[in-house]
Amino acid sequence: MRITSTLLLTLVAACGTNETPQPSPPATWPSCVPNRDGVITPDELPIAIGATLSFYVGADRTVSLGGNGVWDLSIELPGDSVTAIGPIALDTQWYATSFPAGQFVVDAGNGLDGIYHQDERGLWLDGAASHDPAPMAGKTLIAYATPLLALRFPIADGDAFTATAVIPTGAVIDGLPFVGIDALDVDVTLGARLDVPYVQFSPALRVRSHATRTPSTGTPVATKRTTSFLFECFGEVARAESNPNEPAIDFTAAAYLRRFALGK
């Protein structure tokens, strides 16, 4: 069973992965000034629906995600594209009524959307759905019985948690019924600095997520790892996704790499 990248839970605040045209009029950016205390509160992770930032995006990259708290992702790489991305409103989507608690949508890749909401406790994944109501591969619609915690406030050094969500009867993946459990293991590390092309973010928070999907019957289990770097008021400024079933927590082969692109 394929594990959807919605479980990777990496695009937050104004840095969602939606590449579809944004609504008009242009979004209003929330007022937020980083205080650089190394802790992200709900006010420092604003959701700017309809706003976009630019990112370098590439596939099959070698990365260094461990180390001593100084992370260097600053080298411009051949083949990188520059893409403007950001979250969009839920209410205009075909599946909106299936997610009454949802607030916004991010593109999860492979024709899928992730549906989220945020409150004072954290950022929550409500489920996933195919971007189109009748795709050729078959419709996907997963509305969790209870949402899956993606980030817990305050986001701070040393925080770690495990969250689970039941995929209930009635869910479909690629047009086929599916019942099971999605689980997420998350840990947070404060680092001195993250370098991306032409920009340094200091301090930066590294968030490592390990997503697991297990069906209710049978033994197949799919896993995937994501390492995200967050900065106050910006949200996510870099992200690396592993290949499926990656064993190393600080993997070096990234199937997907995204980094903030200054002035692009």
pLDDT at residue 23, rounded to an integer: 46
Q: 105 to each of 94, 166, 207, how far by Cα in Å?
A: 12, 20, 21
Torsions phi, psi of 98, nearest 5?
A: -80, -10
pLDDT at residue 65, rounded to an integer: 97
- SS3 category, 203: coil
Which residue ranges in the chain fall short of pLDDT 50? 1-24
**Is pTM beyond 0.85 here?**
yes
Per-residue pLDDT tens digits for 171-194: 999 999 999 999 999 999 999 999
Cβ contacts of 81-84, under 8 Å, gap ≥ 24:
81/56, 81/57, 82/54, 82/55, 82/56, 82/57, 82/261, 82/264, 83/19, 83/54, 83/55, 83/57, 84/19, 84/52, 84/53, 84/54, 84/55
Torsions phi, psi of 17, nearest 5?
A: -100, 25
pLDDT at residue 28, rounded to an integer: 64
pLDDT at residue 16, rounded to an integer: 37
pLDDT at residue 29, rounded to an integer: 66
